[in-house]
Amino acid sequence: MSDEEQHPPEQQERPGHESRMEEQPQDEMRSYQGTGKLEGRRALVTGGDSGIGRAVCAAFAKEGADVAIAYLSEDEDAEHSKKLVEQEGRKAITIKADLQTEEACRDAIKRTVDELGGIDVLVNHHGTQTVVDSFEEITTEQWDGTFKTNVYSYFWLSRFALEHMDEGAAIINTGSVNGIRGNASLIDYAATKGAVHVLTFSMAQALVDRKIRVNCVAPGPVWTPLIVATMPEEKVESFGQQVPMQRAAQPDEIAPSYVFFASNELSSYYSGEVLAPVGGETHPG
């Protein structure tokens, strides 16, 4: 898509299904060439059914990893991601789960360990957001649900995964540019992403002696099903045009950041970092 083009003004019901999108994201890593950087590693990618999560699954497989794909309800999308992993000769499983609960998070880790033989990389990527016109519009129910999905689950999944992780393992959280600078129409979402960033800093410090690295990718606007499922049509149409590059990223452009943090070969000296691919925005600090 050129800088001048707009996205179609499409909308879907939550959680959003990529197979139904009018403008399909680029998230299969078709031109990516792996070099074995994750050979023999076992990864759980939550929200791996579409968008950035799907691209991460595909990239990990191309680098030699087996992948567990956790998702909420998008069966067709999750099966597509599974096939992308299997096409690379790697093992893939799908885990349908609502990760708002501690029990579901425990079960997701257990299935990953049982079926893949262990877990070396955890990618906490799933999330939810709701656009509001005013602060007063946010209900306690919405606030609680956003934090349960975007923060509590990251804590639960990490805690249960750590029971099975050895030296050299990696945890990668998904933050957001909105957690860096805030967002007047995504207030609770931005607050959760700020929490994810500081959780990353704190976990990295707590786990450094175990030689387990914890990092975060905090993207700017990315064209995924979450956008068409949570934003009004007029915002979908102009989505991403506010950044200096004047466009949203494609998931394929973000996934290599996760490969970087997952690979000890590439990022052995990185822990407690927030990497922000944001289309040319600069931020102080």
Rounded Cα gap, residues 53 and 51, in angstroms? 5
Strands 274-275 and 92-96: unpaired
Provide the terminal-to-terminal Cα distance of the chain, rounded to the nearest Å: 32
**Residue 121, strand partner residues:** 43, 170
Angle at 259 between CA 22 and CA 275, to 5 degrees: 85
Tell me how far apart the 2 most distant CA atoms of the chain are, in Å: 51
Rounded Cα gap, residues 126 and 12, in angstroms? 18
Active site residue 269: no
User: In terms of residues, how long is the chain?
Assistant: 285
Single out the catalytic residue among 71, 154, 189, 258: 189
Residue positions annotated with a catalytic role: 189
